[in-house]
Structures are given as C-alpha cells and as structure tokens.
Structure 1
Amino acid sequence: MTEKSCTDLPKGTPALKADELEALKAQIDPAWQVDETVLTRRYETKNFAKALMLVNGVGYLAEAQGHHPDIKLGWGYAEVSFTTHSVGGLSENDFICAAKLDAMGLAG
C-alpha cells in the first residue's frame, strides 16, 4: 500500500464493500478502526507538543497525497479519520494514507 498514491475518485464511484474493507484492513496497523464509512486511529503522545508534531506529519502526507483527513488534537493525543466524501464511504485512498502514516512511524 505504501507504494501506491491516491487517485481522483469522481462522485458516483462506489465505496468499498465489506470484503474489500477486510482485505485492506489486514494491510494496515490493527490500531486503525474501520466502520462502514470512516477509518480512524487515535495516537497517544506524551504531551501537546508531540501531538502537534504528529498532526503536522499527517498534514504533510495529506497535502502530498491530495487526500485530507479530519483531525482532532488535544493534550497527549491526536485522532485521525479518513473517509472519501466523493464515494460516500471508504476507498482505497483512505487505506493508502493509513499505510503511509504507519510507515512514517508517527505514534508516540
């Protein structure tokens, strides 16, 4: 997944089905939680500054991939949630970004 890049998915492109979600989930860190429409991971950090640095790393990846998550930031944590609005659910783009974040080693 880390070798792939996000692609433009026009409105009307179908979201991933349950079996596709399971296959892609097996390729990312088990800390990622999947429901039908959102892929989320909560990162725990030692303080606010580390959480902010983590968010900056997420932002860098999001800009590079053209696929932007929702981010919650607080003291000692950052929560990252991906969804693909144009498909009304999850797409391979969400899992590509999750895998790339895993490879960046941002946790901590």
Structure 2
Amino acid sequence: MSDLASKRCVACEGDAKALDLAACMKLKEQLPERWRLLREGRMLRAEFTFRTYYQTTAFVNAVAWIAHSENHHPDIDFSYKVAKVSWWTHAVNGLTENDFICAAKVEKLLAE
C-alpha cells in the first residue's frame, strides 16, 4: 500500500488548483487498478463488489466515516452488492492529492 493512506487531507484554499493529468496518473500508480481516471482526469472512481447487501452498506458507511474524518466527501452510488465511489474536488473542478489520499484510505479498509 502506498504512503498516501498515512497522509491527511488539507483544506483547499481559494487559490488551489486541480492537478494536471500527468500528476494524476503518477498518483494513480499508487492505487490498485480498480481506480479509474474519468472526465479527462478530473474524477477518480472505483467499483467494489460484495457478497451481501449488509457488506455493501457496511462498506458505504465506512467510506462515509473516512469522508467525515478527512472533511472530503465522495459521491457514492450503491445497490445490493455493488458500490461505486467517485472522488473529485468540487472547489477546483478536478482532482487534488486529497482525492488520492481518500482513495488509498478506502483501499486500506479492504486490506484490514
């Protein structure tokens, strides 16, 4: 696992800028292949499959806890056995290191 999971999100200030595609691709290398760059490198998304609805909702709640503790919130879509987590920084209309930090923390959930 990358050291991204050990970092903390930082608040985006008014002059914060989205990462360029090259920087996003470099950070994405630290995540499992399930994570995809979408919207021309402005969104990071992964799909997770579980055996039961209970496992899916437990995962969604754990992701919500990460989001709350980092004060950085994803879009989450879920159904019976599938959850899709999408990170992007609304304030910059693109990706920041915060998005990759949170994705790494989500991956850490599954490793534990």
Does the 8 A contact of 1:71 with 1:78 survive in 2? yes
Deviation per CA, 1:18-40: give whole Å up to 9, x if none: 11011100011110011221111
Q: Which residue of 2 aligns with 1:34?
A: 37
Q: Which residue of 2 aligns with 1:86?
A: 91
Shift >4 Å, 4+ stretches: none
Partners of 1:42 and 1:99 in 2: how far apart? Answer: 14
Partners of 2:43 and 2:98 in 1: how far apart? Answer: 12
Q: Which residue of 2 aligns with 1:50?
A: 55
Alpha-carbon distance, 1:53 to partner: 0.5
One-letter amino acid of the structure 2 residue matched with residue 31 of structure 1: R
Alpha-carbon distance, 1:71 to partner: 0.5
Uncovered stretches (5+) of structure 2, i.e. residues with no partner? none
Name the TM-score, length of structure 2 as normaliser.
Answer: 0.90
Partners of 1:57 and 1:94 in 2: how far apart? Answer: 16
Measured on the aligned residues, the alpha-carbon RMSD in Å equals: 1.1
Q: Which residue of 1 aligns with 2:70?
A: 65
Does the 8 A contact of 1:12 with 1:86 survive in 2? no
